[in-house]
Amino acid sequence: MLEVQLSAKPALFGAAEGLFGTKDASTAGIVLTASTQSTILQVLSPPGATGVAEKLQAWVGAEGAGLRPNGPGNWFVVCDAQPPRESLEALSKTLEGRAELLDQSHGRTRIKVSGPKVTQMLAKGTAIDLREHQFAPGQSAPTLFGHISAQLTRVSPENFEILVLSSFALSLWDSLIVMGREFGIQAHC
Amino acid sequence: MASLITCPHCGVRPKEEFTIRGDASVTRPSPEADGEVWHAYVHLRDNPRGLHKEYWHHTSGCRRWLVVTRDTVSHDVIDVSDAGALA
């Protein structure tokens, strides 16, 4: 019988890196990076629960984290670094009975896309209207990116973040490189 | 086919993000109902020309069930609402 050795590896293990469609990094219209050390929490609340969004907003403001609404009663909280345990416990306590917190750090991957051509490139994958007055900095929405469901967030006018299931991250990474090639893309994870 | 659906939670999205379940006007009979009634509920559907009410699932968005009222002739979408309000 074939012995299968299971081993843990990062979602973007072996991902393509470097310059694509250009030979000079200064002319790259798109920069693709990944944030693999993030803490990602999913927050789920039952119908009728009130005040959850406000509590989350207050917490992400204090922690310098990001809030990504994923549908009614459903949010992602993303932190660049591991938040202190006491702070997480305090959040869980404030939401007791109104929402559940689940650690999804292992389950989702944050891919960051930026550059002057970023909206042109992302428009190839999603049907969200990416003009700034329709999808302003700070806005976030779950959408279909190519054939992959992902959470798209505009961090600033030329900075986007895609939150995707880790098992789809490599496939999405490769698609993003193909989409960005015509603008010149620099990828590193 | 209507190609743009205004999801009450997510805004305007293309039909590719949705899964269509079908007629939203039929109501589930009681478990004791006659076999004929169940047969009609499970298998028999109208194919209306004009206004049609359907369940759509926003599979690649908020994952909520919606009720979409659309015109099968003009492809106009008349109304989209969360199905939770019906339940």
Of B60, B64, B84, the CB nearest to A143: B60
Same domain, A31 and A114: yes
Of B11, B12, B63, the CB nearest to A71: B63
In a domain, A135, yes or no: yes
pLDDT at A111 over 90: yes
Query: pLDDT value at position A48?
Result: 87
Percentage of chain A beyond pLDDT 90 is: 83
Same domain, A69 and A29: no
Query: pLDDT value at position A136?
Result: 95
A155 interfaces chain B, CB cutoff of 8 Å = no
Contacts of A135 in chain B (CB under 8 A): none
Where is the domain boundary, A103, A124, A154? A103
CATH of the domain at A75: 3.30.70.260
pLDDT at A10 over 70: yes
pLDDT at A124 over 70: yes
In a domain, A2, yes or no: no
Partner-chain contact A144 B17, CB within 8 Å: yes
Burial class (CB in 10 A: 0-12, 13-18, 19+), A115: buried
Mean local confidence (pLDDT), A1-23:
88
A90 interfaces chain B, CB cutoff of 8 Å = no
In a domain, A150, yes or no: yes
Partner-chain contact B59 A129, CB within 8 Å: no
Q: Summarize pLDDT for A62-102 with one digit per residue, the tens.
A: 999 999 999 999 999 999 988 999 999 999 999 999 999 99
pLDDT-derived band at B2, boundaries 50, 70, 90: low
A46 interfaces chain B, CB cutoff of 8 Å = no
Query: pLDDT value at position A140?
Result: 94
The model carries a pTM of: 0.87
Same domain, A25 and A70: no
pLDDT at B84 over 60: yes
Of B9, B12, B84, the CB nearest to A47: B84
Contacts of B57 in chain A (CB under 8 A): none
Most A CBs within 10 Å: which of B4, B6, B13, B58, as the mutation test of the A interface? B13
In a domain, A5, yes or no: no
Same domain, A74 and A114: no
Same domain, A111 and A65: no
- The values of phi and psi at residue B55, to 5°, are -85, 125
In a domain, A147, yes or no: yes
Of B16, B61, B82, the CB nearest to A142: B61
Same domain, A182 and A133: yes
pLDDT at B82 over 80: yes
pLDDT-derived band at B87, boundaries 50, 70, 90: low
Mean local confidence (pLDDT), A95-123:
94
Where is the domain boundary, A82, A103, A124? A103
B8 interfaces chain A, CB cutoff of 8 Å = no
pLDDT at B1 over 60: no
Q: Which chain B residue is nearest to residue A71, measuring alpha carbons?
A: B62
pLDDT at A36 over 90: no
Q: Of A114 and A36, which is predicted with more confidence? A: A114
Same domain, A93 and A116: no
Query: pLDDT value at position A60?
Result: 93
Q: Which domains does chain B have, with CATH numbers?
A: 4-26+35-85 (3.30.2270.10)
Query: pLDDT value at position B50?
Result: 94
Q: Which amino acid, residue A114?
A: S
Q: Summarize pLDDT for B18-61 with one digit per residue, the tens.
A: 999 999 999 999 999 999 999 999 999 999 999 999 999 999 99
Mean local confidence (pLDDT), A129-136:
93
Mean local confidence (pLDDT), A20-35:
92
Contact B68, B52 (CB under 8 A): no
Same domain, A72 and A139: no
Total domain count, chain A: 2
Residue B30, both tokens: 């009681």
Range of the domain at A66: 39-103
In a domain, A165, yes or no: yes
The secondary structure of chain B, three-state, reads: CCCEEEECCCEEEEHHHCEEEEECCCCCCCCCCCHHHHHHHHHCCCCCCCEEEEEEECCCCCCCEEEEEEECCCCCEEEEEEHHHCC
Query: pLDDT value at position B59?
Result: 94
Same domain, A184 and A114: yes
CATH of the domain at A27: 3.30.1360.120
